[in-house]
Structure 1
Amino acid sequence: MEKVIYTAMSGAQHALMSQQIHANNLANVDTTGFRADYERVMASTVEGDGFDSRVLAVELSPGTNFSSAALVSTGRKLDVGIRGKGWLTVQDSNGQEAYTRAGDLTVEASGALTLHGRPVMGEAGEIVLPDYRDIDIGVDGSITVTPPGGGALIQVGRLKLVNPDESELSKGTDGMFRLQNNATAEQDENVVVASGFLEDSNVNPVDEMIQSLQMTRNFELQVKLMQASDDQAKSGNELVSGS
């Protein structure tokens, strides 16, 4: 019965972890540019003396669904959505580059272009805008402004748009993506943005609800297996003791 308890226990742990992942996905169904996570698990034998007869479900780091979501028109010129593959670049709280699909940009009083309080990076570093009457962001990420007094358009910067290999990206607890070993990605001329649009989350709420319900049933099943194993062990002990 001992082997059943090992397997059921690890299965229950996996179900709980999976529930957390699906709950987080559902909580971010309306988060701009959010990329859904999915659980990953592998079977692993318990090493020790004798035959390896015990197998546990071992959790791996969550995977990410990198598929693009729909672009929704907002009409706001500081909103940018990426068409197809690619990422916007920001600076995180540790001064490292991080990558995101969210594009609801903001201009601070200082002129700094930010995304949720993080500096937005351009080809030459952080983007700081001069005073302007109007602003436009081109499909290549170039930022042009109309001076306060009018006149010719002035290009004041360009968004750093990147498209690193997705297998090299890891997702942080802040929802941002980073390259391994704090590496930085190069500007990619093929990344295209759409001004006045934001990308939806790629979470499918129906699928997440179904998966969550399945994990709830799976957890209940694993607990029942542990209880049944315990009951059989008690019955066996009673038979041996003759009581």
Structure 2
Amino acid sequence: MDKALFIAMTGAKHNMLAQANRANNLANLSTTGFRADFEQARSMGVYYGDGQPTRAYAMTESPRADFTQGPMNATNNPLDAAIQGQGFFAVQAPDGTEAYTRAGNFAVDANGMLRTMNGLPVLGAGGPINIPENEKVQIGADGTISIVGQGQGPEAMVDVGQLKLVNPDIQTIEKGDDGLFRQRDGEIAPAAVEVTVRGGMLEGSNVNAIDEFTQILSLARQYEMQVKLMKTAEENSTSSAQLLQMS
């Protein structure tokens, strides 16, 4: 079979994966703290022994996330928090490991544990954070959580915990299928005192809807081109077979 057919097939496969990636970005246009994903591919030569490659296939590589900060939206919810600049909130993933997120739309469950909107425990310096029943709660710029106990006055505000804020090198972290970030080496990132939090606000998704839609249209055109090339390769193969039959 014509080698061009396989070359076009790998290109079409990459275009499909890239479109799925861009569609996922659009689907998370309104997701708090979402980081858009880039698709990435490169040509990979095929070698048979010594010499130059006989042809080049398209090979999909690990995608990277866009770490540009999203828009800040005021909510006036005391349990909402947004990171200003670089950094992440530390949470406990379903498998019990530590992971990181930019989504700061927190809530307190029936047992007083602070959780993300996906139900993941929010971590502090000593593990998951528990918040007692209170009259008022606020999150400080350094992640400190303070409350006014039930029946107490404003002067009775006390600290009950502090969010674990981390700032790992973005070159060393990757996004998992669950949307959480982790360090590639599996190590736990240390707390970073330089990370700043803004209480009563949420960071929106950094997805640019116009750019994503434009990229989807461009990828669709590229996919059509690859399919046409596969069709041409098939027609050439058929014509060659007919010529051999006539000779």
- Per the normalisation by structure 2, the TM-score is 0.95
1:141 alignment counterpart: 143
Residue by residue over 1:10-64, the C-alpha shift from the partner in whole angstroms, topping out at 9 and shown as x without a partner, is: 1100100001100100100000000000111111112335752121000111111
1:42-191 mapped onto 2 (5 Å cutoff)? 42-49=42-49, 52-115=53-116, 116-151=118-153, 152-191=156-195
- Would you say the 8 A contact 1:121–1:160 is kept in 2? yes
Please report how far the alpha carbon of residue 182 of structure 1 lies from its aligned counterpart in structure 2 after TM superposition: 2.4
Any idea what SS the aligned residue of 1:181 has?
coil
Range with bigger deviation, 138-147 or 226-235: 226-235
* Distance in 1 between residues matched to 2:218 and 2:168, nearest whole Å: 35
The residue type paired with residue 218 of structure 1 is Q
Q: Tell me how far 1:2 sits from its aligned partner.
A: 2.0
Shift of 1:177: 0.4
Match of 2:231 in 1: 227
1:14 alignment partner in structure 2: 14
**How big is each residue's C-alpha offset from its partner over 1:57-82, in whole Å with a ceiling of 9 and x where there is no partner?**
00111111011011001111101011
Provide the rounded CA distance (Å) in 2 between the counterparts of 1:8 and 1:124.
54
Does the CA contact (< 8 Å) of 1:141 and 1:158 recur in 2?
yes
Q: Contact 1:6 / 1:55 at 8 angstroms: preserved in 2?
A: no
| Structure 1: 5+ residue stretches without partners | none
1:217 alignment partner, one of 218, 221, 227: 221
CA distance in 1: counterparts of 2:203 and 2:24, whole angstroms:
19
Q: Secondary structure at the match of 1:167?
A: helix
Aligned equivalents of 1:54, 1:131: Cα separation in 2: 67
1:37·1:62 contact (CA, 8 Å) conserved in 2?
yes
Q: Which deviations, in whole Å up to 9, do the C-alpha atoms of 1:127-181 show, x marking residues without a partner?
A: 0111211001000000110010114111000000000000111111111101123
Q: Which amino acid aligns with 2:133?
A: D
Separation in 1 of the partners of 2:64 and 2:191? 25
Q: Give the secondary-structure state (helix, strand or coil) at the position aligned to 2:48.
A: coil
Contact 1:6/1:54 (<8 A) preserved: no
RMSD: 1.3
C-alpha distance after superposition, 1:73-101 (max 9, x if no partner): 11111010110101001001111111000
| Aligned partner of residue 58 in structure 2, secondary structure | strand
CA contact (8 A) 1:131 1:148 kept: yes
Alpha-carbon distance, 1:239 to partner: 2.1
- Which amino acid in the other structure matches residue 12 of structure 2? A
**Equivalents in 1 of 2:212, 2:102: separation in Å?**
21
Runs of 4+, deviation exceeding 6 Å = none
Is this contact kept in 2: 1:80–1:197, CA < 8 A? yes
Q: Which moved more, 1:124-133 or 1:140-149?
A: 124-133
| Whole-angstrom distance in 1 between the partners of 2:13 and 2:111 | 49
Q: In the alignment, is the contact (CA less than 8 A) between 1:33 and 1:100 conserved in 2?
A: yes
- Segment of structure 1 superposing worse, 178-187 or 139-148: 178-187
Which piece of structure 1 moves more, 12-21 or 232-241? 232-241
Amino acid at match of 2:43: A
Gaps of 5+ in 2: none
CA contact (8 A) 2:48 2:54 kept: no
Count matched residues. 243
Q: Which position in structure 2 is the counterpart of 1:206?
A: 210
